[in-house]
Amino acid sequence: MLSTQMLGNSAFLTGDYAAGYGNALGGVFDMRLRTGNNEQQEYTLQASVLGVDAAAEGPIGKAGGASYLINGRYSTLGLLSDLGLDFGGEAISFKDIAVNLVFPFVKGGKFTLFGMAGNSSNVFTGDRDSTTWEFDKDRQDIDFESSTQVIGGTFKLPVGQKGMWHTSFAYSSYNSERLSVYFVEAGPNLRDQIRQFRRSVHSYWHLKPNPRQTIKVGVLYNGGEIIQPYTSTKLDFGNLEWELGLHYLKLLNAVALEDGTISSFEPRLNLAYRLDANKKLTLSFGEFSQKPILPVSDVAQPLSLVKSQQSSIGFQVQTGPSTSIEVQAYYQKQTKVAVLPYSFQMLSSNFSNERVPVLLSDFSIPEVLNADGEARNYGLELNLRRYLEKGFYLLANSSIYRSEYRNNSSAYAQTFGNNEWRSSHFDGRFVFNATAGKEWRKERKAGKVKLWGINGRAVVMGNLRQTPVDVTLSELEEITVPAFTIITNNERIDPAFT
């Protein structure tokens, strides 16, 4: 929902991130909004296949350094649909607006207010000609709508000569509704609704007692759901840098699942040793946890934090002023994962919203969750980065990896005789990503710059896994029925290229 016109210096963090981040296992996208131009007015208009993007920024008042930045977008397909163009039975539309106001004050302090709102819709009309059907979706009319609103602010205030107090707060809401209607007697009509409201506060104290040491103490609070105090210290010994942290996560107003937990102490350690000016060894270890995202919602439903131990070792080489190469080996082990006792898979796996009793025809077995699931991911990764220099940038990443899981519940072992590690839906074995771009900059007049650019992205992904379809039952029921009596995820999907 955020345009790139709004984003400032942001970071996408994976693996063993610092103690200030929590309730996340795979990664964190730390987004920061850009400060508007506080000296003169600027206007930007962009048009692409995705949509029309307009932005304005400039100073607030004649003095003081305050500024505003506002951006709005409207989808191209939405505009064309409004003009009456038909896109083969499917109409997709989105629109959003975002604003960031910045008010600096004395001694390096700053107060900001931000807000954003947007909605999207996707209306699909199935083809009434059954000879054209290729997927189950073709026999349905589907209406999807969603909306998001966020309002918040940040506050930064110097504390003494060497400290800084930061606080951010936000209130957000998300609503979505999806209605799918079969226009033939092939399956049930389904209405899915999601409504989420969240109040969030993050406050921390940042202290730099000397040039070689940094201390950070803070707390994250999601109203009525989670509280996460943490502390960390970072020391620089010249060639050796280390950061040691401790994070605590507690689920509020929650009941623990059997054999599960609703609180977690999480130590974090990151080491970096410089071999010389251009080479560096890194070593990281950390414990992490996350509140599970279950396919059903019940306030009284018992929960268990998914726990994860993650470690990595890497080697980095700076090959030029703006170019670096990094190779890294990593291992992640997840425990306390919510599973059904008789299920072949985790709730986060493919076909996770389907009911999975021992026998497909036996619907008398109650679905009681437990925390006996495990998962692991491990592999070797190679990264090439070239930051923007002479108008060119490149980010390339390649990884060979495994992604596996197993069910350790006694009911599962008694029924199926083993609890071997099995391929997850995401066990593609390899992936390659590359993003590159070139810019041409020309100054036409003093203060007037003309900028042209071309950017591209390519992704090659190995064979993901899926559960085969039970053809006989699917034809009988006239709806897709996974073959859960066969071990799941043993069918390989064709490699993907985009």
**Whole-number Å distance between alpha carbons of 332 and 40:** 49
Mean pLDDT of 230-259: 90
Residue 270 structural domain? 237-498
Do 152 and 252 lie in one domain? The reply is no
Mean pLDDT of 441-452: 76
In a domain, 220, yes or no: yes
Least confident of 88-97, 201-210, 316-325, 355-364: 355-364
pLDDT single digits (tens) 218-239:
999 998 889 999 999 999 999 9
In a domain, 400, yes or no: yes
Do 313 and 339 lie in one domain? The reply is yes
In a domain, 117, yes or no: no
Do 382 and 301 lie in one domain? The reply is yes
Tell me the CB-side half-sphere exposure of residue 287, using CA atoms within 13 A. Answer: 13
**Domain count along the chain:** 2
How far, in Å, are 12, 312, 435 from residue 330 at the CA level? 17, 4, 23
Do 338 and 476 lie in one domain? The reply is yes
In a domain, 70, yes or no: no
> 6: pLDDT confidence band, cut at 50, 70 and 90?
confident
Task: Select from 229, 248, 282 the last residue of a domain.
Answer: 229
Task: Select from 167, 196, 229 the last residue of a domain.
Answer: 229
pLDDT at 351 over 50: no
pLDDT of residue 297: 46
Q: With 0.95 as the threshold, say if the pTM is over it.
A: no
Do 365 and 455 lie in one domain? The reply is yes
Do 183 and 285 lie in one domain? The reply is no
Do 211 and 333 lie in one domain? The reply is no
pLDDT of residue 184: 76
Question: Which range has highest mean pLDDT (5-14, 117-126, 237-246, 462-471)?
Answer: 237-246
**Whole-number Å distance between alpha carbons of 225 and 306:** 15
Task: Select from 160, 195, 229 the last residue of a domain.
Answer: 229
Tell me the CB-side half-sphere exposure of residue 445, using CA atoms within 13 A. Answer: 1
Instruction: Give the Cβ contact number of residue 320 at 10 Å.
Output: 10
How far, in Å, are 6, 191, 323, 398, 429 from residue 438 at the CA level? 21, 46, 15, 22, 31
Higher pLDDT, 409 or 162: 162
Do 331 and 187 lie in one domain? The reply is no
In a domain, 122, yes or no: no
How many distinct helices (H) and strands (E) make up the chain? 3, 25
